Amino acid sequence: MKKILYILAVVTLYTLNGCVKLDREIITTLSSKEVNYQYGYTSGRATALYSDLPTGFMEIDGAMFASMGDEAEHTLETSDIQVFNVGSWNASTNPDNVWAKYYKSIRNVNLFLATSDSVNLEGYRLDPTPSQQIIYNTRMAEIKRWKYEGRFLRAFYYFELVKRYGGIPIIKNVYTIGDDVTDVQRNSLQECVQYISDECDSAALQLPVKYPDTELGRATKGAALALKAKVLLYAASDLWNTASWAGGYAQPQLISLPVADRNVRWKAAADAAKAVIDLTGTTYALYNNYRNLFITGESFKNMEHIFVRRAGASNSFEAANWSVGYDGGKSGTTPSQNLVDAYEVKVSATSAVTFNWSDPTHAANPYATSGATARDPRLQLNVIVNNTTYKSRIVELWTGGKDGKGKDLVSKTGYYLKKYLDEALNLQTNTTSIHGWSLIRLADVYLWYAEALNEYSPGNADIKIYVDKVRTRSGIAMPPVPAGLTQVLMRDVIRHERQVELAFEGHRVWDLRRWMLAPAVLGTPLKGVEITQTTPGIFTYNVIKVEDRVFEPKMYFYPIPQQEMLKMPSWIQNPLW
């Protein structure tokens, strides 16, 4: 029998409320039959299916997705992320080419589904002893559940592909080297949406709402319902319902859905999001400490996270993103003025206005934390601004300061990242902490619900209720949304709230695409601020252009990788590439 080298490496699972950490450092030569036959190996293979979940800390050559949008600039000029910003990427050169990665992930799930029933439990089944029957029934139930976890993960990986490439091949069988795949075709966008939605429904019926502590970290019923809500939100949004931008593309079914009543699609998205919100038996709730939601060692267990990928204990993200003014820092992801300006001024408990550099009261103290010009508290929970304290000293972002212009690798925007960064770590003594990357959290779901509801039922009371839940959470306490807003004004409010609440979480570039605002927003210059200290503690601020950015309509979808196009001569490339 053919021997295959199986390596079950260290794998850690991460989701709501905790994680299961399975350390497996077994390297052995076994036949595939032997591996599939044993319960322990099958358990390890089920765990490994989670290993390709995205973690956005340094997703693209050390940079965050925020730096390919209007949220940030990556300090290192040689990072591949810069290719996106200058518009020089294509089918052959795409720093975010995840086609092979996720099809490998999908194949791993397909292989698991095809072989997981081979586990030999006959010894337990045939033993009438009650304890052995309990083991048998427990393990049979576990194997069944693992298969539904796999189906959820496969749907998740498919969504990651679809939002980038549009309609893609839905592969349900296991291909091996030498198989003829030239007859494989891309499924329509509608077929992909339906498939992901159906798989989420199937998984939700079988996955538990919660796990015992020994099993925390696996996909839940809430995660499956939330993924369905997300894909239906995309299916209702402008991009997937508009083909006209593609210039007469020969296969519009790959990039847009059939013409239908948009209100039906928006209602489906709203209903799906509400199903997550109303799910009984969960502990989902908005957390009362926004900052700690992203930094504490136990944040991955937080009740606001519905699906979260926990990274191991490390300090690499801090080293990559702390200012060069701190020992070991490399500046990394630096927030833009575009984002900073989006944080409102809290005039009073009931009123907020847009920040305006032309208003002398705003410009005099642009980062105020109290009084009539106080900014949205989330600004300084996400962003390090000039002349504030971080790591026990004042941050000197002015020209000539420890963190400002005049040194190599300082921020070009006049800001540094705070979100996700553990201020308590010490790079010199190599202290570390656990970091969690939230893939879906409750605030996101609230805003999905409000957005979808506003599109098909404007004026519905729930729209304001759920936006206000996010804005007024404990520790943030921004004023509620004004009553009586028109559909258009409420749409702007919801989009703004997504920008500031979910900053740096990897959603912005996809939101702008699905709203079809990317050319207007991502194709405009990225801005920063130049800071001058006139006298000690007194500063002037001048908004500057950091760099021009490029976004063309063809970039709504990624091009199919060139190596795939060469293998599939019957395919046509995505539009305008």
**pLDDT by residue (tens digit) across 337-388?**
999 999 999 999 999 999 999 999 999 999 999 999 999 999 999 999 999 9
Q: Could you read off the pLDDT of 124-158 as tens digits, one per residue?
A: 899 999 999 999 999 999 999 999 999 999 999 99
**Confidence at 36, pLDDT banded by 50, 70, 90:** confident
List CB contacts of 264: < 8 A, sequence separation 6 or more.
none
Strand partners, 4: 30
What was the pLDDT predicted at 49?
Answer: 95
Contact criterion met (CB below 8 Å) for 368 and 375 = yes
Which amino acid would we find at residue 285? A
Calculate the alpha carbon distances from 543 to 70, 362, 390, 420, 527 in Å. Answer: 15, 13, 23, 26, 7
What does the pLDDT look like over 425-437, one tens digit per residue? 999 999 999 888 9
How far is the C-alpha of 448 from the C-alpha of 258, rounded, in Å?
22
Q: Which pLDDT band, with edges at 50, 70 and 90, does 179 fall under? A: confident
Q: Are 473 and 288 in contact (CB under 8 A)?
A: yes
* CB-CB neighbours of 172 under 10 Å: 12
In SS3 terms, 183-204 reads as CCCCCCHHHHHHHHHHHHHHHH
Confidence of residue 67 (pLDDT cuts 50, 70, 90): very high
Taking Cα atoms as reference points, which of 69, 61, 62, 53 lies closest to residue 511?
69
pLDDT mean over 280-297: 91
Domain 293-554 sits in CATH 1.25.40.390: yes
- Cβ neighbors of 179 (< 8 A, separation 6 or more) are none
Q: Which helix (H) or strand (E) holds 347?
A: strand 345-348
Phi-psi sector, 76: left (phi>0), alpha (psi -120 to 50), beta: beta
Mean pLDDT of 22-44: 69
The confidence score (pLDDT) of residue 8 equals: 34
- Per DSSP, the three-state class of 14 is coil
Domain ranges within the chain, ordered by starting residue: 293-554
Helices (H) and strands (E) in the chain, counts: 20, 17
CB 377 within 8 A of CB 368: no
Instruction: Using pLDDT thresholds of 50, 70 and 90, give the confidence band for residue 532.
Output: very high
